[in-house]
Amino acid sequence: MTDWIETLGKLFWLPLVFWVGLFFEVRYLAYPLAIKKQIRKGKTWFYVPVWWQKSSFTRFLVTSLTWFLVVSAVLTSAATLYWLLPMTVYLFLFWVIIFAVAAKFGIRWAISYVPRLETECYFFEYRRLVYWYQKAGKPLVESDLRNRCTWSLQNDLRHADAKHRFYQYIKAMAYSRKVPEDLDAEVFNGN
């Protein structure tokens, strides 16, 4: 019964390969799953990449790869501990559960990277539009701002995705320090 666990545990470097592969796969391939979840929550301004929308086979492949890497990382990690430290099968199952919980929280953290960047891009665009409205002297209507901001961001991200510069664009925009000024704050400060 435990021979396969010991055999798998002897490959002590294998869990590291699976955990690193899982991290990069979830962060850079499976992030549309988190975006779709945010859209279902009502945040309609998120942009889902074209490569994810076009093919259901791609979605199936990415999801299957994620599950394969999770199961492989959890089992090889527990098997390595079983091989390194003498323990019972029940303790092995306990470690499987512990690593599964750790994988769940790790995936949740890693998959939220791109949606977090898109959120930063949205609010950067929102602040830019508020500045433009204030500078032009137009009245600030929340629904108009939200709709223009959503359209503008979706359009920019669609063009960046078409040029295969999606990551570069959202990273540059999210980390930009060129935050538009708040004209109302200047008025209140006496400037």
Check whether residue 101 and residue 48 sit in a common domain.
yes
Check whether residue 78 and residue 166 sit in a common domain.
no
Among candidate residues 55, 86, 110, the one where a domain is terminated? 110
Residues 13 and 81 both lie in one domain? yes
Same domain, 106 and 43: yes
Which pLDDT belongs to residue 55? Answer: 82
Share of the chain above pLDDT 90, in %: 39
The answer on 94 and 25 residing in a single domain is: yes
Domain match, 16 and 91 both: yes
* Whether this model's pTM surpasses 0.85: no
Predicted local confidence at residue 60, as pLDDT: 93
**Token pair belonging to 3:** 């021979």
Give the tens place of pLDDT for each residue, 154-180: 999 999 999 989 989 998 888 876 666
Average pLDDT value for the chain: 85
Residue 77 near residue 19, CB atoms below 8 Å: yes
Confirm if 126 and 140 have CB atoms less than 8 A apart: no
Domain boundary among 57, 91, 110: 110
Per-residue pLDDT at 180? 63
Q: Which two tokens stand for residue 85?
A: 């430290």
Is the pLDDT score of 3 beyond 80?
A: no
pLDDT at 61 over 90: yes
- 67 and 135 inside one domain: no
Which band of pLDDT confidence, cut at 50, 70 and 90, is reported for residue 187? very low
Residue 184 has pLDDT above 70, yes or no: no
Domain shared by 103 and 119, yes or no = no
Contacts 24+ apart (CB under 8 A), 177-180: 179/124, 179/127, 180/127, 180/128, 180/130, 180/131, 180/132
Last-in-domain residue among 85, 110, 135: 110
Contact between residue 19 and residue 109 where contact means Cβ atoms under 8 Å apart: no
Are residues 101 and 120 located together in one domain of the fold? Answer: no
Q: Structural domain tally of the chain? A: 2
Q: Is the pLDDT of residue 185 over 60?
A: no
The pLDDT score that the predictor gives to residue 179 is 62
In terms of domains, do 172 and 147 share one? yes
Residue type, 137: G
Asked if 126 and 149 touch (Cβ cutoff 8 Å), the reply is: yes
**Mean pLDDT, residues 32-54 taken together:** 88
Same domain, 11 and 89: yes
Give the C-alpha separation, 22 to 108, whole Å.
12
- Same domain, yes or no: 151 and 181: yes
- What range does the domain containing 140 cover? 114-188
Q: What are phi and psi of 81, to 5 degrees?
A: -65, -40
Q: Is the pLDDT of residue 14 over 50?
A: yes
pLDDT of residue 12: 79
**Cα 123 to Cα 38, 157, 177, distances in angstroms:** 16, 14, 13
pLDDT tens digits, residue range 109-148? 999 999 999 999 998 888 888 888 888 888 888 888 889 9
